[in-house]
Amino acid sequence: MAIKRYYATLDNTITNAYKTDMSTRGTASNMGASDILETFSLYGLQDSASSELSRVLVQFPIDQIQTDRSASTLPLSGGVDFYLRLFNAKHSQTLPKSYSLLISAVEKSWSEGTGMDMEGYADQGQSNWIKSDSSTNWTTEGGDYTQQVGYSFTASFDVGDEDVEVNISSLVERWANDGGNVLDAIPNYGVGVFFTPTAEAEDTSYYTKKFFGRGTEFFFKKPCIEARWNSAKKDDRANFYYSSSLAPAADNVNTLYLYNYVRGRLRNIPGLEKAGGKIYVSLFSGSSDNMSASAYHPIHLAKGGGVITALDFNATGGLASTGIYTASLCATAASTPLTKLFDVWHDSNAEAIGLGAPYGRGAVQYKSGSIEPKSVYTYNINPSNQYVSSITNLRPSYSREETTRFRVFIREKDWSPTIYSKATQEVQPLMIESGSYSVHRVVDDLVVFPHGTGSTSAVDPSRGSQKTLHTIMSYDISGSYFDFDMGLLEDGYSYGISLAYYDDGVGSWVEQPETFKFRVESRQKG
């Protein structure tokens, strides 16, 4: 799972607009219980020089982010992006066009209130244009905000009916560090959303922009902070290539994973619990029957990945997440390429680690596995990549209380194997290095979570450190997969999963024709 939402815990609209009598202002009005949030800048309605403003206050549960980080369900700072999500609410009033909204950290604690009147501004109390709560005034009428870099952001609009989707990671990290004696950390009082000071001061109207508030009946329209990160694990055990002069240096690097399951649960290897704990991988040729690693034939490794010095026997790896270790390396084929290699994971960076006597000097072997390496080859034509995909473990329904791992099987379209001697031979999945998923609601085709594929300008958009690649699929020896938290979906509806693969031939992502449907219930039946 690489998406998590933190929904607003407080929100309100505050205003200095004139009441319906057009003689008194609603500066004491409160709209904390309304299901709509509203910001506007109106000029010249009461008289030729009158100005009326409305601003939005919204606060989020940053303590939940801290808890999730402590539980390792959310990456640490630098490994995740946080986006403010506000969803447009349609209305019959004039929409602002070609404008910007300012999103700034609130500097003072405020109370939500129970007011609902957004027309006559008759409901009073709690936070309003004058007061942050029932007994405390704002230092400046309209709210106190920090408009410095890192605390303030801009959302720009062309038409006026767009949603807000702004990266506010720097501010969220400052909130999350509050109380930890960290420089620039600040208390979490939420954000204010309003027209820029320049726009508010102009002698022209920017009219009304409305968003759904936290009290809305629409599940997917509630204000939230959306955490996004790239959780894809690209295990090249079944997609291992010998180094080639035809490939860029980055494509000659293969990544391998070790999954340490103890009694069915992932556990850190004792002594390697921390992110700095090192683990090493060596490659060996096979024994005479090619069923195990040859004890005294470690293979020299090319420089790259976890191999610092060319012709070393060891690649340095480390802890990826709880119980999962990873290492990257390159392998150069001999004049007669080996058809099988054996990877050995161990704790000692020996000069020439072996499976015999050298381990008697204190090295510990954790695990060994096998690899069938491939060679890079060229085409005389530009192939047309067409695929058939299926989710092999898809169920008709799921509960909101579960996180599901979807297994994706991919093969080439019109694939027609020839099997002579083994009619029962297992069909191997096709490895797609750059795959993505999206989720939509079936009844109205609402795209709940679109493809998060980042930039398509990269040589390989699924590799690298971009945190925004939050819907990229992982793969291992069994094929592609992804994890999804069903709690992100509203129960009582059917949803569809769509897949997209990056096609180098056309330089873009190509959506696949299949749709995989399932239903979400509040609890699993049966």
Q: What is the pLDDT of residue 357?
A: 43
Residue, of 522 and 143, whose pLDDT is higher: 143
Taken in order of first residue, the domains within the chain and their CATH numbers are: 3-228 (no CATH), 236-371 (no CATH), 387-521 (2.60.40.1930)
The model's confidence at residue 456, banded by pLDDT at 50, 70 and 90, is very low
Residue 526 has pLDDT above 60, yes or no: no
Quick one: what percent of the chain has pLDDT higher than 90? 60
Across all residues in the chain, what is the average pLDDT?
A: 87
Res 427: pLDDT: 67
Give the per-residue SS3 of 317-367.
Answer: EEEEECCEEEEEEECCCCCCCCCCEEEEEECCCCCCCCCCHHHHHCCCEEE
Find all residues with CB under 8 Å of 177, minimum gap 6, and list them: 77, 184, 185
Helix (H) or strand (E) holding 408: strand 403-412
- Is the Cα dihedral 422, 423, 424, 426 positive or negative? positive
Question: What pLDDT score does 382 carry?
Answer: 67
In whole angstroms, give the CA distance from residue 68 to residue 80: 12
Cβ(524)–Cβ(403) below 8 Å: no
Residue matched to tokens 């005479």: 288
pLDDT at 17: 95
pLDDT in tens, 343-363: 989 887 554 444 444 433 456
For residues 497-503, give the mean pLDDT.
94
Q: Which residues, 6+ apart, have CB-to-CB distance to 40 below 8 Å?
A: 17, 52, 53, 54, 96, 195, 206, 207, 208, 209
The answer to whether residue 193 scores a pLDDT higher than 70 is: yes
Nearest to 326, CA basis, from 270, 254, 271, 390: 254
Torsion of CA 447, 87, 102, 153, to 10 degrees: -30
Cβ neighbour number for residue 523 with a 10 Å cutoff: 10
Instruction: Give the pLDDT confidence score for residue 21 in this predicted structure.
Output: 85
pTM, two decimal places:
0.89
Q: What is the pLDDT of residues 389-400, one digit of tens each?
A: 999 999 999 999
Which stretch, 282-286, 336-340, 474-478, has highest mean pLDDT? Answer: 474-478
Over the stretch 14-71, which tens digit does the pLDDT of each residue have? 999 999 888 899 999 999 999 999 999 998 877 877 899 999 999 999 999 999 999 8
The predicted structure's pLDDT at residue 350: 52
pLDDT at residue 288 greater than cutoff 80? no
